Amino acid sequence: MERNSDVTSDLNSAFVLGGLVYALGENIDLDFRVKVGLNRAETDYTVLAIGGVAMMPLGLLGADERAEVVEVKSGYQSAGVAARSCQDRVENMGVRAGKIVEVLNNVGRGPILLKVDESRIAIGRGMAMKIMVRRT
């Protein structure tokens, strides 16, 4: 959510956001975005171009897919547990940046079964969506 930076104004920001993503290779994307302001409370326009490695949440991988963990995000809360403790809990299970994980079972709901090193662990879907991975 975005608000007018002028706290004395009662005019809210109005804008249009658009973009496109072009895959340069299997694991590299070029992302181009444009934001156009529709009223005086918003900047006239902003252009952003980003190149990077294609990442996705672990929870979107299918069974038998392998991926490298890129980042463990700490969101606000998961199941009533403080965000930092969720991140610590995942890392204590061996899921941390640089690790290769294999999805053993992901039926689209409920926990996801993973293989990390020689261990098999079940992780909740909410936590899995905070773990950013790159397919290997």
Same domain, 85 and 117: yes
Q: Kindly state the tokens that stand for 5.
A: 């930076």
Q: Are 16 and 92 in contact (CB under 8 A)?
A: no
Domain membership of residue 75 as a residue range: 56-135
pLDDT for residue 79 is more than 60: no
d(CA 123, CA 128): 7
d(CA 132, CA 74): 11
The pLDDT value recorded for residue 26 is: 66
Same domain, 60 and 33: no
pLDDT digits (tens, 9 = 90+) for 87-134: 788 888 999 889 999 999 998 788 999 999 999 999 998 889 889 898
Same domain, 47 and 103: no
Handedness of CA 132, 26, 101, 59 (dihedral sign): positive
pLDDT digits (tens, 9 = 90+) for 24-35: 776 677 778 888
Same domain, 97 and 36: no
Same domain, 23 and 86: no
d(CA 108, CA 35): 34
Residues in the chain: 136
Same domain, 67 and 30: no
